[in-house]
Amino acid sequence: MKPAQPEHTPPADATRRKDVAPVICYPVDTLPRPDLAAYRAARAGWALLETVIAPPRDAASFFVPAGCFFRIVSVEGPQVGDLNLWAQDNLQERFFSGKTRALHGTHLSTGDRLWSCLPYLRPMATLTEDTLDWYGFDAFGGAVHDVIGTRCDPYTHQLLGGDPYHHCCHSNLTRALATATGQPPATVEPQVHDVLNVFMCTGFTRDTGQYFMKASPVRPGDYLEFFAEIDLLGALSACPGGDCSSEHSSDAAACYPLKIEIYRPQAAPEGWASPAPNGYDRSHGCA
C-alpha cells in the first residue's frame, strides 16, 4: 500500500517520469479468439447431465467432460462464489488466475478463457455467456468476475483477527476437493489455488490501490456459462460473505446456494478440438 505522505522529496524530473505512457505487458493480438458463434450453436439440443448445489457457506465439487458446458447460476439471492478448476486426471494442472489476469484483464467476461498453470498453459474453459456483462466498470472502478483476489482463508483470519473461522472459501474448497478425490484434506490442501471470484464486484481504490469489494449486482437467474476445453474437476464455494457488501467472511451475512448445471451438446462445436498442453520445448531451459 502506497503511503499517504511520501517520506522522500520528488526529484526535479518527477513529472516527466510519471508521464511516461504505459505499455501492455502481454499484447494478445496473436492470441486466437474463440469462435463464440460455433460454441453457442452447439447448445442446440443439448442435454442436462447433472445439477450440483453448492450450499451456503460451503462448497461442492463437480466433473465436466471435455466438450461439455457448465453454468454457475444464482438461484435464491445475491451470492458470490469462488471457483477452482483442475485437470480431472492431474491435479498438478490447475487454473492459473495470475496468467489469466495478465492475458485478459482483472475481470473476465464472454470470450475470455481460464488458463492452466505452467508448464501446461492451455485453455481449461472458455467463457461463453455472462448475464452480468452489462455492468462493465462502475464509477468506483468496480467490475464483476475478478481474477484479482486470492480467496478468503482461515490463515489470514488468524493473522488479522486471531479468530479461527472454518467456513472460509479456502477451507470449503479443500473439503470439497478431499471429498471428490477420496484423499485427506491435509493432502489436497496444497492443490487449492487462487480463484475466479464468480459474481463478486471488486476493484482497486484510486488513492491507496487497495483491493475492495462491494455489493454484487447478481440476482436470481443470472449465470456464468463455460465450455470445458479439457476434462475438468471443479469446486465451487458459496462465499460466507454472501454478496460481499460488508464482510468477506461472516456468519451474519445473508448467504444463498449456488447451482452448477452441466450440459452435453449433441455434437462438438464446429472445428473444435481439445487443446494440447503448451508446445514450449522445456529441454531448452526448464527441464
pLDDT digits (tens, 9 = 90+) for 15-32: 999 999 999 999 999 998
> Rounded to the nearest 5°, which phi and psi values hold at 189?
-55, -40
pLDDT digits (tens, 9 = 90+) for 59-95: 999 999 999 999 999 999 999 999 999 999 999 999 9
Q: Quick check: helix, strand or coil at residue 159? A: helix
Strand partners for 63: 233
Report the pLDDT value the prediction gives residue 246, as an integer from 0 to 100: 85
pLDDT digits (tens, 9 = 90+) for 87-129: 999 999 999 999 999 999 999 999 999 999 999 999 999 999 9
Task: Compute the distance between CA of residue 113 and CA of residue 127 in angstroms, rounded to an integer.
Answer: 6
Contacts of 27 (CB under 8 A, 6+ apart): none
Peptide bond into 123 cis (omega under 30): no
Report the pLDDT value the prediction gives residue 165, as an integer from 0 to 100: 82
Domain parsing of the chain, residue ranges: 49-262
> Rounded to the nearest 5°, which phi and psi values hold at 98?
-65, -45
Residue 162 predicted with pLDDT over 80 = no
Per the prediction, the chain carries an average pLDDT of: 95
pLDDT band (50, 70, 90) for residue 287: low
Report the pLDDT value the prediction gives residue 5, as an integer from 0 to 100: 85
Residue 4 predicted with pLDDT over 80 = no
Report the pLDDT value the prediction gives residue 163, as an integer from 0 to 100: 76
156 vs 62: which has the higher pLDDT: 62
Residue 227 predicted with pLDDT over 90 = yes
- Residues of the chain with pLDDT > 90, as a percent, come to 86
Residue 43 predicted with pLDDT over 70 = yes
